[in-house]
Every structure is written in structure tokens, then in C-alpha cells.
Amino acid sequence: MPSYKIVKGVKIAEDALVRIWINNKIVAELVSNPELLEELGIGYAYSEGYINTLGEIREVATAGHDVKIKLVGDVATRAKKVEECGIGEFVKIKSPRRIHDYRQLTTLATEFAKLTIWNVDPHLAMHTSALYLDEEWAVIHDTSRHSSVIKLIGMYLKRGKEAESKIAFTTGRVSSDMVYRLATIGVGAVVSLRGPLYSGVEAACKLGIQLVTNIRNKGFTELCP
């Protein structure tokens, strides 16, 4: 469960500035719920191009709000920049990806809604993101929709087995950085319970990723391809 504080009898989701270190150098500061920080560090290192496999990591240690990763070799210069909540460039794209039936995506969206923080703990103001992997769910609750996606990638890598079908779901607006990061593990479709951002639509269409979002007064709408 996500960490939280009690203020005057009210449960408040905890957010913190988390620092990610790679080989004793700070490479990022991210706002995140201070749970599953190992997944956050691994997901960041992978989606930013510092590593290609978990085998390139010698050690991952968490202390407070710091995630310290030691690589087998020197720190590689990442190939592309992925910006948070804005236009970015993809680091790498993993294939193959599979086109999914629109009806399947909307049916799964209903199932995903039951897994969101609104149903798990409606007192906490948080985002929920998930991966549907060959009929299994991996779910993350976080104060940041961006960090939740990074943690999902770390969780997927730690899972240790490749999934043929990968569909991403989020309660947040889909932005380009989220799409680009999900592309690094070969996600073929992204479904949002909220309206999209144009950068997210642009990125998904550019990469050939299906994008379905819940448009107000219109319902689920496929915007890409």
C-alpha cells in the first residue's frame, strides 16, 4: 500500500523528492510516493537508456528518499532525453507489439477501474497506473502519474519474464513522456480514464501505439492509430 500521513484525522498521501543515483552520481530527482523506490530506480535507469537488462545492475540500495544503483560498468550516456509532462524523445522501442481489439481495451478499462485508488482507498488522492500482461495485472498507486509509469517499468523488469501482450492503463492524462517510457518495454496500447494531452497523442501516433482515452460527453475514443 502507498505510504500516507494522518493530519487531523485525515489520511493524506505522502509525496517526496526522490533522488536517483547511478554509480555515485545523482542523475534525477523525481516526485514520488516513497514506496517501491527500487522499482522507480530500475525503471528510470532502463527507460532513460542507462541499462538494457537487469544484468547490468550490480546493486540497488534505498536509504530514505535516495535510490542508489551501482552498474557493472561505467555509466553510459543516455541516447535521448525524456522530458516529464512534455515533448520528449524516445530512448528505445522494444518490439514486437500487437494490435488489440478496441472492445477488449474498453472491457479491460472497466476491470482496471476496479483496481484504482478510488476503489482501494478513496481517501487518498493518488493516480493509479497498471500493465495488463498476458491476463495478469501489475498495479501501481502513486502521487505522480509520471512516477507511477516509471515504477511499472521497474516492476515489469523485475518480473523476469517477457509478456506477449502488454497494455498500459492510467487514471491520469497521457503525456508524451509516459508514452515514450512505455514504448521501451514494447507496450502496444495505452488506455486512460481521463482525457489526453496533445503531446501524448502525438507520441502515440508517431510510434504506432494504440491510444484510447475517456473523452467527456463522448466516452472512450480511440485516437491512435
pLDDT digits (tens, 9 = 90+) for 171-200: 999 999 999 999 999 999 999 999 889 999
- The alpha carbon dihedral of 13, 27, 63, 60 has a sign of positive
Give the mean model confidence (pLDDT) for residues 205-215: 91
Instruction: Name the band, by pLDDT with cuts 50, 70 and 90, for residue 107.
Output: very high
Same-domain pairing of 58 and 135: no
Q: Burial-class residue 219 by CB neighbours within 10 Å (0-12, 13-18, 19+).
A: exposed
Amino acid 79: pLDDT: 47
Same-domain pairing of 62 and 107: no
pLDDT averaged over the chain?
88
> Tens of pLDDT along 129-157?
999 998 899 999 999 999 999 999 999 99
Say if residue 86's pLDDT is above 90.
no
> What is the C-alpha to C-alpha distance for residues 99 and 95, in angstroms, rounded to an integer?
12
Task: State which of 22, 49, 71 marks the end of a domain.
Answer: 71
Same-domain pairing of 38 and 116: no
Amino acid 97: pLDDT: 58
Does a structural domain hold residue 152?
A: yes
Same-domain pairing of 43 and 143: no
Say if residue 77's pLDDT is above 90.
no
Say if residue 28's pLDDT is above 50.
yes
Instruction: Name the band, by pLDDT with cuts 50, 70 and 90, for residue 219.
Output: confident
- What letter represents residue 135's amino acid? E
Same-domain pairing of 66 and 138: no
Amino acid 164: pLDDT: 84
Amino acid 75: pLDDT: 67
> What is the C-alpha to C-alpha distance for residues 22 and 5, in angstroms, rounded to an integer?
30
